[in-house]
């Protein structure tokens, strides 16, 4: 395979091998193929689209550094990339935060044309992610990771086990516990009628 069309049809394993041999375009295809899924995972874990944008670059740089250790599941590198993303958020969050603050200190860009609908949609996404992140933060980190990977990122138990570095049985038990706790955390309390006798109160 030599042209662009052939590269985009190649499997993840072949792309990693060829990227390691110096074909930079192959790593670009891997980024195009999996970058948005990694970004979505980071956004759901951090509750911030801006932080997710920063983290995606860090995740793929770390993946390139560790390219010799890639672990494929049915020729798919995404579970392995999720594992790198999870560890990146654990160990390199301070680096990403410093980078974000440095960007915030730059002079503001010149005024851009008004895109009210686009801005409103992004604000709605930010508010939704903030509410979701608040509920997720009350879960144990291990339970939070498996919930995001299996429920929102669509990983199978086997894929999540690769991403988390744990047995499949552990993924199942953590997911069950996470779902139960998240439902309990987000369930609104039921109002008690003012006229209810004390014996009927919970």
In which domain, by residue range, is 51 found? 1-104
Same domain assignment for residues 90 and 161: no
Q: What is the mean pLDDT of the chain?
A: 78
Are residues 11 and 78 both part of a single domain? yes
Instruction: Clarify whether residues 14 and 86 are in a common domain.
Output: yes
Q: Within the chain, what is the greatest distance between any pair of CA atoms?
A: 79
pLDDT at 60: 92
What share of the chain has pLDDT > 70, as a percent?
A: 69
Report pLDDT for 169: 92
This prediction has a pTM of 0.58
| pLDDT confidence of residue 194 | 45
Contact 150, 160 (CB under 8 A): yes
Do the domain assignments include residue 111?
no
Residue 137 or residue 70, greater confidence:
70
More reliable by pLDDT, 197 or 124: 124
Q: Which of 83-97, 112-126, 140-154 has the lowest mean pLDDT?
A: 112-126
Tell me the angle at which helices 49-65 and 24-46 cross, rounded to the nearest 10 degrees. 140
> Average pLDDT in the 68-95 region?
86
Average the pLDDT over 131-145 and give the result: 77
Q: What total number of domains does the chain contain?
A: 2
Residues 3 and 89 reside in one and the same domain = yes
Measured distance CA(19)–CA(25) in Å, rounded? 7
Give domain status of residue 123, yes or no.
no
- Decide if 63 is inside a domain: yes
Confidence of residue 185 (pLDDT cuts 50, 70, 90): low
Q: Are 95 and 6 members of one domain?
A: yes
Q: Are residues 84 and 26 in the same domain?
A: yes
Question: Is residue 29, in this structure, part of any structural domain at all?
Answer: yes
Based on the fold, state whether residues 24 and 98 are members of the same structural domain: yes
Dist. CA 155–CA 157, nearest whole Å: 7
Output the domain CATH number for residue 15.
Answer: 1.10.1740.10
Q: What is the dihedral of CA 178, 157, 130, 50, to 10 degrees?
A: 150
Q: According to the 3-state scheme, what is the secondary structure of the chain?
A: CCCHHHHHHCCHHHHHHHHHCCCHHHHHHHHHHHHHHHHHHHHHHHCCHHHHHHHHHHHHHHHHHCHHHCCCECCECHHHHHHHHHHHHHHCHHHHHHHHHHHHCCCCCCCCCCCHHHHHHHHHHHHHHHHHHHHHHCCCHHHHHHHHHHHHCCCCHHHHHHHHCCCHHHHHHHHHHHHHHHHHHHCCCCCCCCCCCHHHCC
């Amino acid at each position: 395979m030599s042209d662009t069309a052939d590269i985009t049809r190649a499997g993840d394993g072949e792309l990693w091998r060829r990227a390691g041999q110096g074909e930079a375009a192959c790593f670009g295809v891997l980024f195009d193929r999996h970058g948005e899924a990694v970004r979505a995972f980071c956004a759901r874990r951090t509750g911030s689209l801006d932080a997710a944008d920063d983290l995606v670059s860090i995740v793929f740089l770390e993946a390139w550094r560790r390219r010799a250790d890639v672990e494929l599941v049915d020729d798919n590198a995404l579970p392995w990339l999720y594992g790198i993303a999870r560890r990146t958020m654990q160990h390199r969050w301070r680096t990403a935060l410093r980078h974000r603050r440095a960007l915030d200190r730059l002079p503001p860009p010149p005024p851009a044309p008004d895109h009210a609908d686009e801005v409103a949609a992004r604000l709605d996404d930010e508010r939704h992610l903030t509410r979701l992140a608040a509920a997720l933060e009350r879960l144990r980190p291990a339970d939070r990771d498996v919930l995001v990977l299996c429920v929102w990122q669509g990983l199978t138990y086997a894929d999540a086990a690769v991403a988390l570095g744990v047995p499949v049985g552990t993924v199942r038990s953590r997911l069950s516990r996470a779902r139960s706790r998240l439902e309990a955390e987000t369930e609104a309390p039921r109002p008690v009628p003012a006229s209810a006798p004390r014996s009927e109160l919970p």
